[in-house]
Structure 1
Amino acid sequence: MIGFVEQLLRFASHIPTFHLNVQLLVDFAATCEAQLDRWGILEDVDIAIHYISEIVTNTSNGDHDKLQLALSSLYRERAIYFGALDDLKSATEHGPKPQALNDTKHTSWPSKAIHAGRTYLAHGILLKDTVKAQGYLNKATDLFEKVIAIGSGNIALLVYVCESLAWMCELGHDAGAEPRLRRHLGSYLLTDILDQQNNPRVSTGKHIGRIGFCYLCLFKKGSNQKDLENSIKYYNIVMNSKAIDKRHPCRCALLIGLGHAYLYKKQDKWAAHCFKTATLLEFAIPALRMDACFSWAKVPNIDLVEVYSNALKIAPQLAGLEYALSHRVDNAKLLKNLVQEATKAAIAGNDISLALMWAEQGRGIIVAQMLQLRIMFTHPGIPIIQHKEPELADSLRRATTSLHQLDALMGTMDVKSTRKLHRDGVRWNHLVRKIRASEKAQLGDFLCLSIEKILQLGRKRIIVIINAHGDGWDALMIRKGDNRPQHISLPTSNERFSSLRKDLFNAGLRERRSGDGASGTTGSDNTSKVKGRAVKKIGAQPPPPPTPDSILKIILVQLWNEVVHPILQELGISVSTILP
């Protein structure tokens, strides 16, 4: 259906008099949503948003409302997938208006209230600890409970109101949320479905998983062991679902929830197993897989090297082509700290080769995916894929070629080309993910940089990588022609350089302001003119503030004495100069 409607949409975009059936477009949007929910395929959602946004401006009355709701739902699902508040803002703009939510007697009010409530709930979950989150969660809960009160409730709605109240308990926003949550969890509608499921379908399984989350929030609030047992019980019911298998995107979040429940149960082995399994789910949302890594790292007595090894395989996907540039930049800040801590853990485990490999991977993590794109045609694993998965390999080649062509136009791309780059990036990542998960190819992470490749680079040159983390700085080195990396700790700290960078920035601001503001001329020793007005100098004057040049000199001297000089000495390069 999706391919057929996309062809119609492209045809209609060239012929203004060609009108598409509105219900067909609504069904098309719902199908694209389902593809994202089931397979994590974002491409169709992007295309649906693009075309429906253009069509909705030319509709009116009932047709306009239907398309607006469909568009709002698409934005909301994309926001949940990427954690993007700007998409949630668009979902709210295209969703039901406040006046429509006040007209409770209208026949369409329940569906509009549920739609708005789900958007408010998504807002509250993404904002989490902010004050605004409380307002959104309260709005969502009130709308859901009003719909239930007029007799229009169902199992899905009960689950939504329970989830909203659970988040209020989790964030400590409302002391009265706990009794309300327990009352809804005791509804016969929920207890009947929860106690009769052995192999739930996707929709039912997701509801049961949310109930498991609700009981976990209740346990964290009141430490009732019965709540914790219920949480583990319901999470495990979903784990037995054949429909929510390792290729289903939502399995990752469910495993993370179950892992946290086991962690509170003091069953660390099972908790680590859940988190580790979640990190290995290739078809899950990359951000969720990274959350699983962070949770895994908190398990007592865990092997951090194994945790970070998995985290760094996921890391490039968080700065990947399927993300908008703003998301890539935000994720890059997170990944920088991740790489620093991973390298530090490898050094602590005396695995210098691994530390060097991780530091090099992290050094170019923003461009890592573009590097993968460059080597795609020459990678030795491609012929193997071509032989075992010819259709998959051909699709990958086409997607790679398209990205190469668009990349050449990066400097002068219009909105249409930017959207195409985004969609092609999503397609390319989806194909790479399928290859990694392919049982026929069995290549695993075939684009990952290895220590062997780094050592090859060291045959003709010296390689030095600095890892600056919270506790200090380390230097990882390969001597020219050597096949064994070395490590030394450097006598410097992040705090000192952070302070100097701040001073440098402030000095630059002062210099710019003084240059802009001084319009008078300096007078005698006792007076000066500032903007044409004489000001008398009284007593001793304070020393002038440091200039950018003077601070930069301090930074360069410290870098030489505490970083460059020790490294040169370790490499056997004779340098005797220590700067004052």
Structure 2
Amino acid sequence: MRQRKTSIPTQQIQEKSSLDRTKGESVTLEVAEIEQDIANLERGLRNSQGDDPVEGRDLYSLLSHDKSSAIVPSVDGGTSSVESSGQFKLISGGCEDDPHSLNDLGAQLLRRYELHGDIGDLQLAIRYLERAVHLTPEGHPDRPSRLAKLGISLTTRFKALGEIADIEQAILKNELAVRLTTDGDLDTPKFLCCLGTSFFERFKRLGDMADIEQAVVNHKRAVQLSPDGPQDKPNCLFNLGNSYLMRFDRLGQIEDVEQAVIFHERAVQLTSDGDLDKPNRLSSLGCSLLLRFERLGEIVDIERSVSNHEQAVQLASDGHPEKARFLSNLGNSFDRRFGRLGEMTDVEKAILSNEGAIELTPDGNPRKPEYFSRAGNSYWKRFDRLRQATDIEKATFNHNCAVQLLPDRHPFKPMYLSNLGNCYWTRFEFLGEIADLDQAIFNQERAVQLTPDGHREKPYQLNNLGNSLSSRHLKTGRYEDLLESIAAYRTSAHLPYGPPSARLYAANKWAWLARRERSRHPSHPPVLDAYKVAFDLLHLVAWVGLSIDSRHHEILAASSLACNAAAAAISENDPQLALTWLEQGRSIVWGQILQLRTPFDELRQAHPRLAAELTQISEQLEHGTSGDHFTINGSGEGAVQKYRQLARDWDRIVGEVRQKPDFERFLMPKLFSELRHAARNGPVVILNVSEYGCDALIIESLSQNLHHVPLETFSYQKAQSLRQSLHDVLSHQCLRNRHASAEPLFSDDFGGDNAFLPILAELWKSVVKPVLDHLESLQDKYLRITWCPTGPLAFLPVHAAGLYSPDGTSSNSLPDIAISSYTPTLTALLRNSQHATPDTSEFKLLAVIQASSPGTAPLPGTLEELRIIRNHVSDQSSQILQGGSATTSNVLSAMEECSWVHLACHGVQDISSPMESGLLLQDGRLNLSKIIQKQLHHAEFVFLSACQTATGDETRPEEAVHLAAGMLLAGYRGAVATMWSIRDDDAPFVADKVYARLLNDGRPNGSKGAEALHLAILELRKKPGGCQFSSWVPFVYMGV
């Protein structure tokens, strides 16, 4: 559900701090001073009409301090939270004839309104200021400042009461003030701020883009003209940040929200904690960070947003007229964090915050609809988690209030209508009442109609309408609803603006509905158009300007896209397109990193300038993928912004290259004519698992033609069931970590080792046997097959498929027929096969031996592995890092010098953060995120003698986020890895056999890695206890 930025009465969140008390005392002191100032001014005005006019001027000099020069209210000022204090009138007796005193009295009343929120003070301030302007003659040096003061007061009243006439007059007054000054005038930046503020507020109400452009222009000039220092500069920076943020909220351009964060952060840094504007500036910085989080998904932004909003709430006194807005903004950040992390405490805090904002805001206040809408969203999200009927009723009530309080012309009206429609749609899903669905469609259609073209929210509005129309079609069978739903999704997907994730969602839904309809009506247009749009959006969703963690998170929404699209292409008799899409839509992040490592040789020959620019940018981008600058405290903000600018430059230059002759497909996804060369060392079998069907695509090793083999007895559901069965077996038998015991871990109550039998049998009958039959290779005893499984098959031991007896012997099995290896993608296979084989004279093996890492169980078998390595490799050709010397920095440094690496230690797969998966060394974890930063030009072969080094992330099966794939990315041509835990005494045995084969006759040959592992496993199965599936099945080979 979409909504605006939003915040719980402080007493409901936490106890008042000493900081609050100090701040409260400061506010009380200023209020007392203002009260005295006003009293002195009023008395001076009255006395100036008596017999001694001097007394009035003397009293004016009694002002405790002149605040008139500081009266430049904040742009995002918010609304009054108290009722009008009654009728006011000018002091009688002709006292209104002193413009100087009237102006200052109006300014003090305005300031008192800002502190107390009494609308009567504001009304009287405007009357005094209007009179002061009227009495100030043309050409008087004070006329511009009095016009500006009146203009900002009218703007403030517009924000409080919403009368259009006020903002129109405010703009006129402020424009005149600016025209009457020059750029060299010290007050010009203030007047520009006032004018920019007025345009800003009118845009918020009427949505005219010309107004927000004028706001940016005027605030930018104000920043340029204002002197550095804490007096005026922070306010100018703050207002410019607000204008950029508002423009982003409309158009969705990333550059605008980046600028908003920059200027809001500078404003906060220049504002002391005791400054009464500090809460407002903190809250606006929190809003900028929140909107950037919504667009880019970086978790650091939502954490910083919450932190800034919490500070704003803490610094604002309970009587502060902006307290409701600060609470609402805090609630909105809690709401968004709940949507990302799912912590129930966040949605509870969001509800308290939003309810607190509503309670503090009087009826008639222009901001109240926004607070209702945010409260509705929080109740909706809690309902989605807990399914309590009272929550969906409260959500619907609050959204109805928001809609009813806004006129149709209000820019927020479409969003509130769409949110209300979502509530009715959700209530339909819960209760099944068709009337709710009709109400949902009615409101969402209005939302689409009222949303202007170019608005970043339009894809969301169309998607929400598509969801409701689709639900009504499924409920009633109404064909027109289906067509209209497809049309809504198709329109959303094709929009050139709005968040790419929303448009990708639309393309996926469009494809799903089109495919469903085509299965019943073959004459319906094909679904391939929808998938083509989806693939065009993928690189925008997983933009290279994001951190790798964020890219992986964004890809979650498209986790099944490649497989489903491939199935659709196969059903349309286009297996080559299916293969291309599988390659384009899987291992997306790995592919982006490989692009950055492209040598650009051909481009350098034809266009050296472009090649040089891309090379420089790619090096900086790759260095930035570490994510160290994406810090929670915001200390790396400058580096983050620089990194994203580099990404934009990369996109721009790549686009420029594609305009050149012969470079139209520069860095575009590879076509089948290129991918087929991956099979030069043997057939490559891509196993596609989709909810629409399962298929094998085979690239022959000799002809390199593409063949399609339907896996008719296999299904996505069956693959999921097998994966879950294997997961249960491994979890029950504690096969997730390397262990020292040589005894079988299986217990009879869970089927023992025989629990593997049905899994391996089903893989044989439904997956492997149909492929082998097609290859007609049963007579070729040592055929080499490279498997590229997708979906749940990526976690299943295809290489071990077969019909086995309970004692582990086989009647028909893949290991008896072929040497198997895996590859995450065809591109990885192509890249590594094209690398020149390292010179054997430069051969050197790095052995990392960690028999006892801190906090883990000892692994005595690793010492046996060290002995075996020393038997096979001379001291001159090896480097040993053992125990205390096996630190992460030492290992990474040595990997740059050695072509072969043996890593014997504990391994860990980090479920919550897959890029932090790694190997446990002496001083901590050697993470995948660190490994992939390396470009190891000498790399050839790596033996990962640890656990779960080829396991991957089950939520992202197509991304191959595991250590073995990371090693291939770093440059290794091949890797021995494990799918789950291995026994400590099996690892030395397998290593001995592998190195004996690879170092035959003393000549290292890493290209025989798959064959060496295959033969080693055959030997292991002959060993006592080695025939257990838990012993030999986890070993796999990846790469060339």
- TM, length-normalised to structure 1: 0.70
Which residue of 235, 246, 254 maps to 1:34? 246
1:389-411 CA distances to partner (integer Å, 9 max, x unpaired)? xxxxx9x9998566324146458
Q: Which residue of 2 aligns with 1:525?
A: none
1:447-500 CA distances to partner (integer Å, 9 max, x unpaired)? 652645446747977662423537897431233575852122569874657766
- 1:114 matched to 2:323: no
Q: Which residue of 1 aligns with 2:576?
A: 353
Aligned equivalents of 1:209 and 1:433: distance in 2?
Answer: 38
Aligned equivalents of 1:231 and 1:114: distance in 2?
Answer: 26
Contact 1:399 1:424 in 2 (8 A): no
Which residue of 261, 271, 282 maps to 1:68? 282
Which residue of 665, 682, 700 maps to 1:479? 700
Aligned equivalents of 2:642 and 2:359: distance in 1?
Answer: 44
Say if 1:426 and 1:95 are closer, same or farther in 2 by CA, change over 3 A.
farther
- 1:260 matched to 2:480: no
Amino acid at match of 1:477: I
Select between 289-298 and 454-463 the one with higher mean Cα deviation. Answer: 454-463
1:313-359 CA distances to partner (integer Å, 9 max, x unpaired)? 33333332122221123344554443233333433454322221122
Which residue of 91, 97, 118 maps to 2:305? 91
Q: Which residue of 2 aligns with 1:244?
A: 452
Amino acid at match of 2:457: C
Contact 1:212 1:235 in 2 (8 A): yes
Q: Which residue of 2 aligns with 1:146?
A: 359
Q: Which residue of 2 aligns with 1:176?
A: 390
Amino acid at match of 2:418: G
Which residue of 543, 547, 551 maps to 1:320? 543
1:231-286 CA distances to partner (integer Å, 9 max, x unpaired)? 33333334334x632x4321111111110121233211111111122222242212
Amino acid at match of 1:146: E
Amino acid at match of 2:334: Y
- 1:576 matched to 2:784: no
Contact 2:282 2:311 in 1 (8 A): no
- Give the 3-state SS of the residue equivalent to 2:545 in structure 1: coil
- 1:210 matched to 2:419: yes
- 1:232 matched to 2:441: yes
Contact 2:508 2:531 in 1 (8 A): no
Q: Which residue of 1 aligns with 2:744?
A: 544
- 1:367 matched to 2:367: no
Aligned equivalents of 1:510 and 1:374: distance in 2?
Answer: 34
1:57-87 CA distances to partner (integer Å, 9 max, x unpaired)? 5532224323311211111112222445543
1:497-527 CA distances to partner (integer Å, 9 max, x unpaired)? 7766887797776644669xxxxxxxxxxxx
Aligned equivalents of 2:565 and 2:462: distance in 1?
Answer: 23
- 1:286 matched to 2:509: no
Aligned equivalents of 1:222 and 1:413: distance in 2?
Answer: 45
Aligned equivalents of 2:621 and 2:770: distance in 1?
Answer: 41
Aligned equivalents of 1:291 and 1:107: distance in 2?
Answer: 41
Q: CA RMSD in A?
A: 5.2
Aligned equivalents of 1:220 and 1:410: distance in 2?
Answer: 44
Aligned equivalents of 2:627 and 2:306: distance in 1?
Answer: 29
- 1:157 matched to 2:371: yes
Which residue of 329, 340, 348 maps to 1:135? 348
Contact 1:71 1:94 in 2 (8 A): yes
- Give the 3-state SS of the residue equivalent to 1:301 in structure 2: helix
Amino acid at match of 2:356: L
Aligned equivalents of 1:86 and 1:213: distance in 2?
Answer: 29
Instruction: Report the Cα offset of residue 116 of structure 1.
Output: 2.2
Say if 1:409 and 1:126 are closer, same or farther in 2 by CA, change over 3 A.
closer
Q: Which residue of 2 aligns with 1:538?
A: none
Contact 2:251 2:456 in 1 (8 A): yes
- TM, length-normalised to structure 2: 0.42
Aligned equivalents of 2:532 and 2:280: distance in 1?
Answer: 47
Q: Which residue of 2 aligns with 1:79?
A: 293
Say if 1:218 and 1:359 are closer, same or farther in 2 by CA, change over 3 A.
closer
Aligned equivalents of 2:261 and 2:365: distance in 1?
Answer: 30
Aligned equivalents of 1:184 and 1:286: distance in 2?
Answer: 29
Aligned equivalents of 2:581 and 2:311: distance in 1?
Answer: 50
Aligned equivalents of 1:186 and 1:7: distance in 2?
Answer: 41
Q: Which residue of 1 aligns with 2:150?
A: none
Which residue of 488, 503, 510 maps to 1:296? 510
Q: Which residue of 2 aligns with 1:422?
A: 643
Instruction: Report the Cα offset of residue 97 of structure 1.
Output: 4.5
- Give the 3-state SS of the residue equivalent to 1:469 in structure 2: strand
Aligned equivalents of 1:262 and 1:404: distance in 2?
Answer: 45
1:411-454 CA distances to partner (integer Å, 9 max, x unpaired)? 8897368525531255258759999xx9xxxx999865264544
Contact 1:360 1:465 in 2 (8 A): no
Say if 1:462 and 1:240 are closer, same or farther in 2 by CA, change over 3 A.
farther
Say if 1:176 and 1:453 are closer, same or farther in 2 by CA, change over 3 A.
same
Contact 1:33 1:74 in 2 (8 A): yes
Aligned equivalents of 1:294 and 1:54: distance in 2?
Answer: 41
Q: Which residue of 1 aligns with 2:563?
A: 340
Identity of aligned residues (%): 18
Say if 1:70 and 1:192 are closer, same or farther in 2 by CA, change over 3 A.
closer
Contact 1:202 1:244 in 2 (8 A): no
Q: Which residue of 1 aligns with 2:686?
A: 466
Aligned equivalents of 1:570 and 1:203: distance in 2?
Answer: 60
Aligned equivalents of 2:446 and 2:416: distance in 1?
Answer: 11
Aligned equivalents of 1:512 and 1:240: distance in 2?
Answer: 63
Q: Which residue of 1 aligns with 2:898?
A: none
Say if 1:336 and 1:379 are closer, same or farther in 2 by CA, change over 3 A.
farther
Aligned equivalents of 1:94 and 1:571: distance in 2?
Answer: 63
- Give the 3-state SS of the residue equivalent to 1:367 in structure 2: helix
Aligned equivalents of 1:258 and 1:444: distance in 2?
Answer: 38
Aligned equivalents of 1:191 and 1:108: distance in 2?
Answer: 20
Larger radius of gyration: 2
Aligned equivalents of 1:330 and 1:292: distance in 2?
Answer: 18
- Give the 3-state SS of the residue equivalent to 2:407 in structure 1: helix
Say if 1:297 and 1:375 are closer, same or farther in 2 by CA, change over 3 A.
same
| Count of aligned pairs between the two proteins | 523
Contact 1:399 1:427 in 2 (8 A): no
In structure 2, the gaps of 5 or more residues are 1-214, 474-480, 519-525, 630-635, 747-752, 783-812, 817-1040
Select between 322-331 and 423-432 the one with higher mean Cα deviation. Answer: 423-432
Contact 1:275 1:293 in 2 (8 A): yes
Contact 2:373 2:416 in 1 (8 A): yes
Contact 2:245 2:288 in 1 (8 A): yes
Contact 1:101 1:109 in 2 (8 A): no
Select between 220-229 and 282-291 the one with higher mean Cα deviation. Answer: 220-229
Contact 1:474 1:489 in 2 (8 A): yes
